Amino acid sequence: MDAHAQAMWDLMERTMRSERWRPGDDGDAQRRYRDACRAMSGDHALFDAVIAKIIDPGLDPERFTLLAERERLDQRGKLQAAQVMAELADKVMYKAGWNVQRAVRAHYRRDVPRAFAELAAGIPESADRLGAYRVAAMASWLVNDPAMEFKAHLDRLWDAIGEDDMRTSLSRAFANALVPAYARGDAPEHARDRLAEDETARLDGGPAADADAALRRMTRPGAATRR
């Protein structure tokens, strides 16, 4: 892994699993984490890797590195990275048994959205907070935070950047009560039928197609327009 990817891996797999850690702590580790968050404002591959580690806290270092360093890979490697993200997006949107909230709470000792928001708050320049605020907002949606907590993350993202593709998609999710599959309340015995219905709707261009496209936009920050 490069230095920024290693810092984010250490943050999530080691530091966030410690009850003693606070984002305001001093030390070399905090500087590494904030430097990586700054880099993530423009490094969409690193952003993807961090989001993948939230969707699947058990993500192994090989797949994390594949995602974080995809821009330096050959075409085959880039396609493999895209497939990893597509599979995770499908689990979030269509598999009621893939409970991100439960997995995150079991794996991490910290409130992940809040931790990234607090890391961002320690970065002096507003534009450099963008990557951490994007992660905080996306993570808040993934763990199905209460509506006002989710909105607070969206507001911080707006203050940092104004309009961009990911914030627009998350705002639409907030406005339309679009939530991950596990939060829709699908009973286990109906999960397979619901998945089949969603797949049919996606092929037909129905509501599931909109949901699928929305999540894929959320996980690709894209070009931003500063205020």
Please give the structure tokens belonging to residue 79.
Answer: 């396609």
Percent of the chain whose pLDDT exceeds 90: 46
Classify 162 as helix, strand or coil.
coil
In the chain, the N- to C-terminal Cα span, in Å, equals: 34
Match 């904030």 to its residue by tokens.
34
Over residues 150-157, mean pLDDT: 91
Nearest to 82 by CA among 63, 101, 58, 102: 63
Backbone φ and ψ for 114, nearest 5 degrees, come out as -65, -40
- The number of residues making up the chain comes to 227
| Domains contained in the chain, number | 1
Rounded Cα distance, 60 and 47, in Å:
16
Distance CA 72, CA 170 (A): 29
Residue 6 and residue 46: Cα distance in Å, rounded? 10
CA–CA distance, 127 with 153 (Å, rounded to integer): 15
HEC-encoded secondary structure of 159-173: HHHCEEHHHHHHHHH
Residue 67 belongs to domain spanning: 3-225
Supply angle C-alpha 208, 85, 130, rounded to 5: 95
Tens digits of residue pLDDT in 3-48: 999 999 999 998 888 766 666 665 788 889 999 999 998 888 999 9
40 burial class (0-12, 13-18, 19+ CB within 10 angstroms)? buried
Neighbours of 82 (CB within 10 A): 13
Q: What pLDDT band is residue 207 in, cutting at 50, 70 and 90? A: very low
Residue 198's pLDDT is 46
Asked if the model's pLDDT at residue 150 lies above 60, the reply is yes
